[in-house]
Structure 1
Amino acid sequence: MVAVDRSAGIPTDLVVAANVAGAAEGTEWLYGQGFKRVACITGPRHVTTARQRRAGWAEATHAHGPLNEDYLLWSDYHAAGGHAAMLRLLGLETPPDAAFVANNLMAMGAIGALRESGLQPPEFGLAVFGDLPFVPWERYAVHVVPLQAREIGAHAARLLLDRINGEVGSPRKIIIDSSGRPSDEHVDAGRAALVGQIESLAQPPPACSPRVRSQTGLLPD
């Protein structure tokens, strides 16, 4: 997500990835490969992108059967969190046979946990939102939903230049899908809703002791 400041440091325009659609795309790919029990490792519950990517996973999963909440883990968007989350999933009585991972760093941790457990893609299905530069995901047989960070930044720059050049009007929200295509929305809810959306990202994470964080990498429910 990129916010474009128009006045007094208040964000008015947004450029975002298609988080719900991208997560649904990655999850649906796993079902399309024949996997039946697709889990989700997403970021902190208080982060908008984590909730949206969880929603995309849930949307795709509902199309294939009931949602198993045991297969949903909220983590921390870091490699250690992905590692701990995957180990927890593999320890379930009926573990998943695939997982959608909501960011690239957690996916790297998840791959490490799979290898430690004697598994690896494509035996265990893995789809991830966003790639890492210089990391050959095909080596790990991982399906990547591109984040299109370059396009997000380019559209944010164009919005800012438009405002600098005197463009007025209601706040705009541009959503960039996994292919890099934009859709331009005028946000009817206005500035207050956009400010609230940005502020939600700045809220502190749920209380969690250093000992719990260091041992699990997971956030409490």
Structure 2
Amino acid sequence: MRRRLGTCGSSTARTWPASSSRPPTSTPTSSGSPGAGPRSSWSTARPGADVDHVLFDNHALGRTATEELVRAGYTRIACVTGPATTPTAGERATGWRDALDAAGLPADDDLLVHANFRVDGGRDAMASLLSLPQPPDAVVATNNLVGVGVLQLVAEARDELSGMGVSVIGELPFATSAHDNLTVHPLGPREMGLTAARLLLERIAGSSEPARRLVQGAGDGTAGGVGRLRQ
């Protein structure tokens, strides 16, 4: 699956507290701060928070992106993910590790690199991986901007890295150099946004049912994408 252009999706859309039978009167915000009015934001889940959530199945995304490389025959697969303090980054990295464990492949500590979720983070992480005594033969990039950085370094060393496998979670936000061994796993942020908006409108209309948690992920075998939503 070759994609050149796309959008950047986050891990969660959130609306305001489910306990409110009608929306507060303050101005809508994307910050999710306490006391704010109706809100629909892109964020990570807050355990125990009395709000509706729409989330990506981050563990499944990491696992599926890795399994794609395993099926292609790669045996030393690295993972470039976000900061260790970011739940999304940790969940996708756990999916990577679980996929390697299931395949009987090494998930060495030096194959997991935490970086910022930006292009420069991907570049720095890839440079670090390539400097290892035994570099990887494939990389899972758990974010689209990180993926761009990884692909930039692969393109700059095209002759040496022509066989490098790259699996990116999230559609690439702008054009990158062509790479034959690239797989992109779209997240489907549009579907997530539409679902979050529907939940928000139901709250505005007076719904007072308990907070709902909908998960968008790899239930249909395609991580992200326009997959099914499940509670």
Picking from 97, 114, 123, the partner of 1:74 is: 114
Measured in 2, the distance between the counterparts of 1:121 and 1:13 equals 44
Picking from 81, 86, 90, the partner of 1:47 is: 86
CA change 1:108–1:166 in 2 (3 A) is: same
**Cα drift, residue 179 of structure 1:** 3.4
**Cα drift, residue 67 of structure 1:** 2.1
**Cα drift, residue 119 of structure 1:** 4.9
2:216/2:228 contact within 8 Å kept: yes
100-109 vs 9-18, which moves further: 9-18
Picking from 2, 6, 28, the partner of 2:13 is: 2
AA of the residue aligned to 1:44: P
**Cα drift, residue 133 of structure 1:** 4.3
Residue by residue, what CA displacement relative to the aligned partner does 1:113-144 show, whole Å, maximum 9, x if unpaired?
Answer: 1233345776100000001345378x323101
CA change 1:119–1:162 in 2 (3 A) is: farther
Q: Which position in structure 2 is the counterpart of 1:29?
A: 68
Tell me the TM-score normalised to structure 2 length: 0.74
AA of the residue aligned to 2:63: A
Tell me the TM-score normalised to structure 1 length: 0.77
Measured in 2, the distance between the counterparts of 1:104 and 1:124 equals 17
**Cα drift, residue 23 of structure 1:** 1.3
1:184 aligns with 2:230: yes
1:4/1:11 contact within 8 Å kept: no
CA change 1:49–1:147 in 2 (3 A) is: same
- 5+ residue gaps, structure 1, are 186-221
Determine what percentage of the aligned residue pairs are the same residue. 35
1:38/1:96 contact within 8 Å kept: yes
**Cα drift, residue 182 of structure 1:** 3.2
AA of the residue aligned to 1:156: A
**Cα drift, residue 181 of structure 1:** 2.5
Picking from 97, 112, 116, the partner of 2:137 is: 97
Q: Which position in structure 2 is the counterpart of 1:18?
A: 57
1:62 aligns with 2:101: yes
Number of aligned residue pairs: 184
**Cα drift, residue 50 of structure 1:** 0.6
2:63/2:95 contact within 8 Å kept: yes
Query: Which secondary structure state, in structure 2, belongs to the residue aligned with residue 140 of structure 1?
Result: coil
**Aligned ranges for residues 168-207 of structure 1 at < 5 Å?**
168-177=208-217, 178-185=224-231
Residue by residue, what CA displacement relative to the aligned partner does 1:25-76 show, whole Å, maximum 9, x if unpaired?
Answer: 1100001111000100001111111111111111111112242111000100
Measured in 1, the distance between the counterparts of 2:99 and 2:173 equals 28
Measured in 2, the distance between the counterparts of 1:4 and 1:117 equals 45
Measured in 2, the distance between the counterparts of 1:5 and 1:150 equals 20
Query: Which secondary structure state, in structure 1, belongs to the residue aligned with residue 213 of structure 2?
Result: strand
Measured in 1, the distance between the counterparts of 2:172 and 2:107 equals 30
Q: Higher helix share goes to which structure?
A: 1
AA of the residue aligned to 2:96: W
Measured in 2, the distance between the counterparts of 1:102 and 1:76 equals 11
Measured in 2, the distance between the counterparts of 1:28 and 1:173 equals 27
- 5+ residue gaps, structure 2, are 1-11, 21-34, 37-48, 218-223
Measured in 2, the distance between the counterparts of 1:180 and 1:31 equals 24
CA change 1:59–1:122 in 2 (3 A) is: farther
2:148/2:176 contact within 8 Å kept: no
